[in-house]
Chain A
Amino acid sequence: MTATHELPTNVNQTSEGGQELTSADVIAAGERLRELGAVLRLSENDAILAEREQVPDDETMIINMGPQHPSTHGVLRLMLELQGETVLRCKPIIGYLHTGMERTGEELSYLQGPTNVTRMDYAAPLFTELAFSLTVEKLLDIEVPERAIWIRMLMTEMNRISSHLLFMATNGMDLGAVSMMLYGWREREEALRFLQEVTGLRMNHNYIRPGGVAADLPDGWRDGVLRLLDMLPGRLAEYDTLLNQQPIFRERLQGVGAINADECLALGVTGPILRSTGYDWDLRRDMPYLAFDQVDFDVVVGSYGDCFDRYAIRLAEIHESMKIVRQCLEKMPKGDYRIQDKKVTPPPRARIDESMEALIHHFKIFTEGFKVPEGEAYVAIESPRGELGCYIVSDGSSNPYRMHVRAPSFVNLQTLPHLMHGSLVADAVAIISSVDPILGEVDR
């Protein structure tokens, strides 16, 4: 904000200081245009239109939405400038859930790291673990066994299904389709049951670790997968009947909060929001990691970039994930579920009883952890919300020197001012929901 102007008293009196929306008449013209066009530069035509749009200050009202509003998915706070029911400007304010996880990551060893990062995106915890583990493995220059790769694929796709089901539920709830909320949670619980069978926990699994995964798939895991694969198509067909064929639901989403591909690229937006504009980009296909180049699946794209496209893409991605899961089921190789490198992974439990050396390695790994050579690396994967990257700088010790997570929700939130400009307050709820932010990941 421009510091030379004296702010009106209503801004001064609040405790948040410069985070407030400054009243419109004290902002310099250039700044005002920038805010009107969200953070995008406007074309000349848009700028002329925006000039005309200027409304006197006494006709507008600034309201706070959140941080406790239920539809803001956690603790997102929006400052909205309204004229009547129309949103003129919007500013997302975040940080209410900031717990310094990147700093905590510097204090924890590489072995403890996944317990920390898994709590970032709590709807899709396995993805953050995967990004962290892949980065550490790149720094260590090790390759995990085939079976570990396929287990990771199976588990993350299961997690993608559960995350998108959660979106279906909350999106329905935000739009007043409360029965959809119940159905979504119900199916998600089924997906989580499988994750629990394998990892022992419903959420925050700490299952994918540097060197492989924590445990092999349990006996009867195929039945668990098949039960889900048999159940879901029918339930998804129900969603289709319940939502897609319902005029009220469609009316509330179609044409609301549209964005185009250029704007998405400029804002660094990834994931379903980018794909909803028709931009064909999915890291699983375009920059394959794990074994995604060996499975067959489609990348679903939209055409209008509106809330409905974002909803439909996520629904279709559940089907695609099921395709991948089915292929994992067929192609799951035999072998080890983690690398047998005594410097990275603990020895098998049975070895500890008979081998002194194994006991020493076990003790070493769990007390001081393993050392990672100096260097830096950035690895990105496709999470349900977009590109999830992890950047680690190592100084050769057993703790990361710097651990940074590129959270897709954090970047995607920047679209909110743009999506909301000119829409109604009631649509704001639909728009927040369609961006699908997870605040644990935004604030870290």
Chain B
Amino acid sequence: MTDIDAESGAADTPPENVPETLFDTLLTRSHEQLVLHPTRESYPGLLATLHAAGYHSVVDLCGVDYLTNDSRQLPAGIEPERFEVVVNLINHRERARLRLRVQVPETDAVLPSAFNLYPGTEAMERETFDMFGISFDGHPDLTRILMPEDWIGHPLRKDYDVGRIPVQFKGAPANR
């Protein structure tokens, strides 16, 4: 299971209608990049498997709000939800990258934290919490990181209005 090349090599000619998998998780390709689609429940287990398989670094973790975008492609069996948490991992030894896309529902926007395996996600999860309001269960210090402490709302959500502050030039009334 740890041999990426053999795994993806075998998956080059999949039988009809059988979804591709890698590490027991649904696999899709986006511009030759490998994307895994774990469920919220299988996400911590998959991270542990990947860590053992040599993916020692989470290079990036961010959120996406798909509120107004219904064009995304997901493999059969994955229920689209409003939020998605995107995790990019790297395997230095095999020079391979993997991307995880985890669906997070709007009503219960909680995801298990990757902190215990990958302490480097500390700031990234805080940023995702700050910008999207997605909580990470098990994170040691889930507070706002970029916005002020008393800020209301999560700025990168699609239903968050981009406000405008009237700017006054030479006493002219601001008309925007």
Contact = CB atoms under 8 A, between A and B. Distances in A.
Interface of A: 1, 15-19, 31, 34, 39-41, 94-95, 98, 100, 102-103, 107, 138-139, 141, 265-270, 279, 281, 286-287, 374-378, 380, 387, 389, 391, 393, 395-396, 401-402, 404, 406, 410-411, 413-414, 443-444
A279 B73 CA distance: 38
Contact of A266 (B30, B119, B131, B147): B119
Contacts of A395: 68-69, 71
B145 interface: yes
In the A-B complex, list the 7 residue pairs whose CB atoms are closest, starting with the nearest.
A268-B120, A406-B60, A95-B146, A267-B120, A98-B146, A395-B69, A404-B62
Say whether chain A's binding surface is mostly helix, strand, loop, or mixed: mixed
A377 B30 contact: yes
B57 A268 contact: yes
Contacts of B88: 378, 389, 391, 406
A374 B66 CA distance: 13
B55 to A, nearest CB: 10
Interface string B1-35: 00000000000000000000000000000110100
Nearest to B58: A268
Contacts of A102: 131, 156
Given A94-B146, A443-B146, A414 B123 contact: yes
Nearest to A374: B71
A389 B60 CA distance: 8
Contacts, number: 125
B59 A406 contact: yes
For A40, A268, A389, A395, the residue with the greatest tally of chain B CB atoms inside 10 Å of its CB is A268
B154 to A, nearest CB: 11
Interface in B50-89: 56-60, 62, 64-65, 68-69, 71-73, 86, 88
A300 to B, nearest CB: 17
Contact of A387 (B59, B145, B150): B59
B71 A396 contact: yes
A99 to B, nearest CB: 10
Contacts of A95: 144-148
For B95, B119, B162, the residue with the greatest tally of chain A CB atoms inside 10 Å of its CB is B119
Contacts of A380: 59
B56 A103 contact: no
A31 B147 contact: no
Q: Which size class do B's interface residues fall under?
A: 35 or more
Contacts of A270: 59
A387 B144 CA distance: 24
Interface in B115-164: 115-116, 118-124, 127, 131, 140-141, 143-150, 155-156, 162
Nearest to A390: B60
A375 B146 CA distance: 28
A380 B123 CA distance: 19
A38 B45 CA distance: 25
B37 interface: no
A281 B120 contact: no
B122 A39 contact: yes
B56 A265 contact: yes
Contacts of B162: 103, 107
B86 to A, nearest CB: 7
A31 B140 contact: yes
Contacts of B95: 286-287
Nearest to A407: B60
A380 B92 CA distance: 14
11 contacts: A19-B149, A39-B120, A139-B31, A268-B120, A374-B72, A377-B31, A395-B69, A402-B65, A406-B62, A406-B88, A444-B146
Given A18-B143, A375-B31, A395-B71, A414 B156 contact: no
A286 B90 CA distance: 12
A94 B69 contact: no
A1 B69 contact: no
Given A389-B88, A402-B65, 8 more contacts: A1-B143, A39-B115, A270-B59, A286-B95, A377-B30, A378-B99, A387-B59, A395-B71
